[in-house]
Amino acid sequence: MLLPLALLTTTLLPAQTRPAATAADFHRWMKDLSNWGRWGKADERGALNLITPATRRAAAKLVREGFAVSLSHNVEKEKAPELKGLPYLDTNYAIYPEDLDAWEKKTGLRVRTGRFARRAEKGPWSMAERAGLHASTAAWFRKRDIAILGSDASSDVRPSGIEGIQQPIHTLIIVAMGTPI
């Protein structure tokens, strides 16, 4: 499954009311979510092994029309996080597994932060603070055996909320799970 990091919009508890994740949680996730050895000791493809001839055939069966889709950003056309009733996800907005579940159920999974809508209104995010995925979403991705996570720049919520760990999603996805970003 390919997953572009994209639009999220559900109503959940604000991040500050959730129990904080700790460095111990992160280190446990590094072990529990690891794909190391899953495809043998000599494997260098990691989660790309999940893209097989069978999965490509299954994906091809989903095609209904043959139109081209641009991957360029068009700030005017990018939709905002509709289910939350927000024009964009502002800095420090953490996306949790429950958000991903709700969006998947409602739309068939297309996740986008609305970053370019926010940029148009408020200017660029700082590198120190931005909306993104909470570290706990790594288990959600592992459970679904994603082969690729789209978007490196907006993957992690910043600050991460885990003391001493700057980019937990980046590390869990690439290092533990062997999944390209």
Neighbouring C-alpha atoms within 13 Å toward the C-beta of 136: 15
Q: Do 102 and 83 form a contact (C-beta atoms < 8 A)?
A: yes
d(CA 47, CA 77): 32
28-59 in b/e form (b: 16+ CB < 10 A) is ebbeebebeeebeeeeeebbebbeeeeeeeee
Total residues belonging to the chain: 181
Q: Name residue 95's beta-bridge partners.
A: 133
d(CA 136, CA 156): 11
Q: What is the pTM of this model?
A: 0.62
pLDDT given at position 153: 62
Query: Residue 123: which region, alpha, beta or left (left: phi > 0; alpha: psi -120 to 50)?
Result: left
What is the per-residue pLDDT across 102-115, written as a single tens digit (0 to 9) for each? 777 877 655 555 66
Q: Name residue 150's beta-bridge partners.
A: 4
77 has pLDDT over 90? no
Q: Do 158 and 129 form a contact (C-beta atoms < 8 A)?
A: yes
The first and second tokens of residue 5, run together, are: 């990091």
What is the per-residue pLDDT across 139-173, written as a single tens digit (0 to 9) for each? 999 998 989 887 756 688 888 989 999 899 999 99
What is the per-residue pLDDT across 16-68, written as a single tens digit (0 to 9) for each? 467 789 999 999 999 999 999 999 999 999 999 999 999 999 989 988 888 87
